[in-house]
Structure 1
Amino acid sequence: MDCAIAIMAYNEEMNIGRVLDALLSQDLETVHISQIVVVASGCTDRTEEIVLEYARQHPHICLIHQDRREGKAAAINLCKRHLMSHEIIVCHSADVIPTPRAIEHLVRPFEDPEMGMTGARPVPTNAPDTFMGYAAHLLWWLHHHLSLHRPKMGEVIAFRNVFRQIPRDSAVDEASIEPLIIGQGLNLRYVPEAVVYNHGPETLHDMIKQRRRIYAGHLYVKDKMGYAVSTMKLTRIVPLFLRQIIRRNKESADAVHPDIPLWRHLMWGPAVGALEAWCRILGIWDYTIWKQKPFIWAVADTTKDPASAGKAGV
């Protein structure tokens, strides 16, 4: 099964080579990557130069240049126009590293003609013995368990090319694609075997900046597209955290992280919950009061080290 990979990049000179290396070395059986397209949006570093070096060695890699940064949604729409002939498109963040079988697991479900969209499982590389690292692991663990029951896509997705474009002013591209796929009568599937590594914020400032922007984006999707992602309801999230405390088992694959002791869950877990609630309040303020749609957002610099999986014991 053929697929094309779309990578949206803004000043990703530290990561883009790692991402391309990981994609070029994928262990594939039934899936074939026919093209890799990198959209470089207003880059002022060596991102474009690095991509062109890879393109000279690998003809199926190509670069699309944008003079100025117009937001990830605009970059996705531009890339979709370039990939009109491809039935399956993998939308890949430029600061996420896929494991060797991730693309195979992500694309194989499209053998079912009713499959419209699949999502990978992001695993943070942050060290779990710091508060910010714990927060990253807890939030993505909750995301994982919610997605097992009601798919919530993030970081790396694949979709059937059945819609024209996503709203240019959306700050949450994956959440904007979900209702477009469902509206075509197609299915969503979360694929936990398709593991990809990302890196959560390492500072409180970056976390608040990221989480409030995401929640404001989810409010936009609910308001404009009539679709609520599965993580919007806290009533789904709190029971999952309590289950982790009650059924905690260091040897269990179900644990947030095997190296996190119980006291951290008891002390840091409620603090992460309070912080997330505050970020959501700020997101509500941004969207409803300030009328902000941060589709061109300030980069959270401390999230740009996904290749540190070994350092974090992942």
Structure 2
Amino acid sequence: MPRTPKPRTPRSHWLLLGLVLLAICGLLGLDVLLSRAGTPSTPSGSRQFVPPTAFDNGSVIDPREPTVRTVPPRAVALTFAEGPDPQWTPQVLEALARHQVHATFFVTGAQAARNPGLVREIVEAGHEIGNHTLTRTDLRQAGSQRIQLELQSTDLALAGAAGITTTLAQPPYLTSGSLDGAAWNSLLRIGNHGHQVVVPDRDSQDWRGQDTEAVLAAATPRDDRGTVLLMHDTAGADMVAALDRLLPELKNTGRQVDSVGATFGLPVTAVPAGLLDRVAGSLFVGVVVLSAWLADALRALLWAAAALGILRTVFVLVLAPIQRWRSRRWTPPWQISQRVGVIVPAYNEQAGIASTVRTILASDHPVEVIVVDDGSTDRTAEIVDRLRGRHPHLRLIRQRNAGKAAALNAGLAAARSELVVVVDGDTILEPDAVSRMVAHFTNPSVGAVSGNVKVGNRGNMLGRWQHIEYVIGFNLDRRVYEMLGCTPTIPGALGAFRRSAVLAVGGVSDDTLAEDTDLTMALERDGWHMAYEEHAISWTEAPATTGQLWKQRYRWCYGTLQAAWKHRRAVLERGPGGRLGRLGLPYLLVFQVVLQVIAPVVDVAAFFALFTAEAWTFGLTWLGFLAMQLLPGIIAFRMDGERLRPLWALPLQQVVYRQLMYLVVVQSVITALAGARLPWQKLDRRGQLTPARR
């Protein structure tokens, strides 16, 4: 016989995902680096070795000589720094054009790379470009390598943006009044890289956010000496308004306003960049633009995710209490006394099958237990067979291993009752669970009822996290789904069904790995309503290791995606099927798939945002998100009659457990897109399940 090929499971996607996240981290790290504003150091006051002419008034210093050119009398060399800014630089250019004045724009490499079109616009308008370092770093305490990096990176950005390099540099936070020994040493290092340094002697103080009158007063020269005026094309509307008034006033007083090169008579201030510099500069500009776009997009995505989280929280907090109030007021019009078949599909469940069967037989409602042994290789069938001798309403069906769906169908075929309950082979039932669920079938429109599945082995941290997830996630969502009439899943761990309704839709299908979700959706599309009974409680043994948890959730998520795709046409239907398609499936896909897929990237963006000027905003947003999880948690635990003590693990769950769930969803989505078909993944049971104290 030819060997059956192993299921094709894509593995290279983890490498791809890792590379994508690494690239995102690199781009976000670059954006953080370029976004961080430098901080000025305090001048020492010592002017040893500094030429006196350098701090008398505005000047251009060539540190290679060194020579100091002072500004001519009644001349104003107009400079702008820290741009280009997409909002204010165009308005500055318009003002300069109105008054027919040229200026020198000392741009940062970060802003030049982010706004290459503005750099070209400045050059095309006849203005000069100067180097203001890459990140507005105070160069007084910078070493030679840092200065080289700051200047060459900015020149690279200029080469990529406008095809030029500049001979002019203006170190941030430097004026003639603050020129001390440390600053002079940094100027000498700047000269080693071929730049002349422009030292302003008048600062308009527009960066302080002062009004127009204050900016105008600070920018206006006090005497006939020449001046190098420093303004900032990032300062805002008051700066533009002050500039519009300042330029005609300076001209009316006989002052000559021009760029640095024209004012000082410099023959060359910009040179064409070489081909290699242009290519490298274009790549640099492209990477910076991409990093800025990515940072903005991910921050917008972060806010969108937070908004969706808030929306879901509000949705749950409004609908869940209403559902609970309605369920408590509801009483069945009559008691159903007929015996109910309880189907237990079992495969290698020797650890807990005896406890499961005993608790079902102890139900306060008449039951017939049908254990379907699906080709177990352990003692499962032997244990059930031994119990059968003491319990006349216990039946054992043996079959070759064919999967859970086949086992359920065998149980349905053997059942003698119209109402059946499905219980997993690792589940313990409360005595009143069956009676509470079957009471809902007094409503002839109800086709299936979901019980309340709880985690029994919650003693360790992993079990406690799953307990929180079951109570806050699954059970709250079931209340919402019932209110909306679009329940996507009646859990196989504890669910009740009309046998005739299940048979009418073709029984339990093996098309997906989430046979319970597939069956529930099929029933709704056939016109049946689903119900949720919070007091029908069962205890399940949750996976005890991360490996087992991964296998279970991988199967759940992948199977849910399969079921959603299979029943996608429900969006066009009416009745319960239409509500499933237009409400249930979008809710399921948005909150359990889409948000989970984007969550790792959003978390990375939030982490890098902590190193920006918006750190407090994002930090408070994360704390708010945690509080947003805690409030529904408290309400959900109260509704389920649970103690609040396990909620202390909620913050750690958001940091650790949530990341594992992200990866599960990502793996499931990629597997689904790759078209792989997964085998059923049996979990290892330890048989240590006991009902937890609530």
- Same fold judged by TM-score > 0.5? yes
- Answer whether contact 2:465 2:650 (CA < 8 A) is retained: no
Identity of aligned residues (%): 21
3-state SS, counterpart of residue 145 of structure 1: helix
* Residue 279 (structure 1) aligned to one of 660, 664, 672: 664
Taking the aligned partners of 1:229 and 1:37, their CA distance within structure 2 comes to: 36
Q: Cα offset for 1:120?
A: 0.7
The answer on 1:166 being equivalent to 2:508 is yes
Is residue 214 of structure 1 aligned with residue 556 of structure 2?
A: yes
Residue 118 (structure 1) aligned to one of 449, 459, 463: 449
Distance 1:21 1:287, change over 3 A: same
**Number of residue pairs aligned between Structure 1 and Structure 2:** 301
Map of 1:217-296 to 2, 5 A cutoff?
217-226=559-568, 228=585, 231-234=588-591, 242-246=627-631, 249=634, 253-254=638-639, 257-262=643-648, 264-294=649-679
Alpha-carbon separation, structure 2, partners of 1:148 and 1:251: 10
Secondary structure at the residue paired with 2:527?
coil
Aligned to 1:309, the other structure's residue is in SS state coil
Tell me if structure 1 keeps the 8 A contact 2:457–2:463.
yes
1:254 positional shift: 4.3
Query: Contact 1:120–1:190 at 8 Å: present in 2 too?
Result: yes
TM-score (norm 1): 0.86
Residue 65 (structure 1) aligned with residue 398 (structure 2): yes
The DSSP-based 3-state class of the residue aligned with 1:73 is helix
Aligned residue in 1 for 2:407: 75
Q: Residues of 2 paired with 1:229 and 1:26: CA distance?
A: 37
Amino acid in structure 2 at the alignment position of 1:233: V
**Cα drift, residue 229 of structure 1:** 8.8
Judged with a 3 Å threshold, the aligned counterparts in structure 2 of structure 1 residues 251 and 185 are, in CA distance, closer, same or farther, namely: closer
Query: Equivalents in 2 of 1:177, 1:248: separation in Å?
Result: 29
Cα distance, 1:197–1:70 mapped onto 2, change above 3 Å: same
Alignment RMSD (CA, Å): 2.7
- How far did residue 191 of structure 1 move? 0.9
SS of equivalent residue, structure 2 residue 392: coil
What secondary structure does 1:214 align onto? helix
- Distance in 1 between residues matched to 2:480 and 2:647, nearest whole Å: 27
Name the residue aligned to 1:24: 361
Shift in alpha-carbon separation, 1:81–1:240, aligned structure 2, 3 A: farther
Q: Find the counterpart in structure 2 of residue 139 from structure 1.
A: 469
Quick one: distance in 1 between partners of 2:449 and 2:428? 17
1:194 lines up with 2:576 in the alignment? no
Choose 170-179 or 116-125, whichever is displaced more: 170-179
- Gap change, CA 1:241 and 1:146, over 3 Å in 2: farther
The one-letter code matched in structure 1 to 2:507 is Q
Instruction: Write out per-residue CA displacement over residues 51-91 of structure 1, whole angstroms, 9 at most, x where no aligned residue.
Output: 11222222221111112x211011111222222x5211111
- The residue type paired with residue 509 of structure 2 is P
Equivalent residue number for residue 51 of structure 1 = 384
Aligned residue for 1:117, secondary structure, equals strand
Amino acid of the residue matched to residue 446 of structure 2? M
Match of 1:127 in 2: 458
Cα 1:242–1:177 change in 2 (3 A) is farther
The alpha-carbon distance between structure 1 residues 230 and 174, as it changes in their structure 2 partners (threshold 3 A), is farther
| CA shift digits 1:198-249 (9 cap, x unpaired) | 1211211111111111111011111223363964432799999754424665
Q: How far did residue 94 of structure 1 move? A: 0.6
Counterpart residue number, 1:205: 547
Uncovered stretches (5+) of structure 2, i.e. residues with no partner: 1-335, 482-486, 569-580, 597-623
Cα pair 1:116 1:160 within 8 Å, conserved: yes
CA distance in 2: counterparts of 1:91 and 1:229, whole angstroms: 27
CA apart distance, 1:268: 2.1
1:108 shift after superposition:
1.1
Gaps of 5+ in 1: none
Q: Distance in 1 between matches of 2:559 and 2:627?
A: 27
Q: Is 1:300 the counterpart of 2:683 in the alignment?
A: yes
Helix, strand or coil at the partner of 2:681: coil
CA–CA separation in structure 2 for the residues paired with 1:4 and 1:229 = 34
Q: Deviation at 1:128?
A: 5.2
User: Structure 2: which amino acid aligns with 1:120?
Assistant: G
User: 1:198 touches 1:306 (CA, 8 Å); kept in 2?
Assistant: no
CA displacement 1:136-191 (0-9 Å, x = unmatched)? 11221110000011034221101112123122232112101112221232210111
Distance between the aligned counterparts of 2:373 and 2:689, measured in 1?
21
Residues 299 and 144 of structure 1: CA distance in aligned 2, closer, same or farther (over 3 Å): same
Change in 2 beyond 3 A, CA 1:248/1:23: closer
CA contact (8 A) 1:97 1:306 kept: no
Q: Is the Cα–Cα contact under 8 Å of residues 7 and 91 in structure 1 kept in the other structure?
A: yes
CA contact (8 A) 2:363 2:431 kept: yes
TM-score by length of 2: 0.41
Change over 3 Å in CA distance of 1:199–1:111 after alignment to 2: same
The residue identity in structure 2 corresponding to 1:300 is: L
Residue 258 of structure 1 deviates from its aligned partner by 2.1
User: SS of the residue aligned with 2:646?
Assistant: coil
Deviation at 1:271, TM superposition (A): 2.5
**1:146–1:230: 8 Å Cα contact kept in structure 2?**
no
Are the counterparts in 2 of residues 4 and 88 from structure 1 also a CA contact under 8 Å?
A: yes
Query: Between Structure 1 and Structure 2, which shows a larger proportion of helix residues?
Result: 2
Structure label with greater radius of gyration:
2
Tell me the secondary structure at the aligned position of residue 645 of structure 2: coil
For 1:107, the equivalent position in structure 2 comes to: 438
Change in Cα spacing, 1:269 to 1:257, as seen in structure 2 (3 Å) is farther
**1:269 shift after superposition:** 2.2
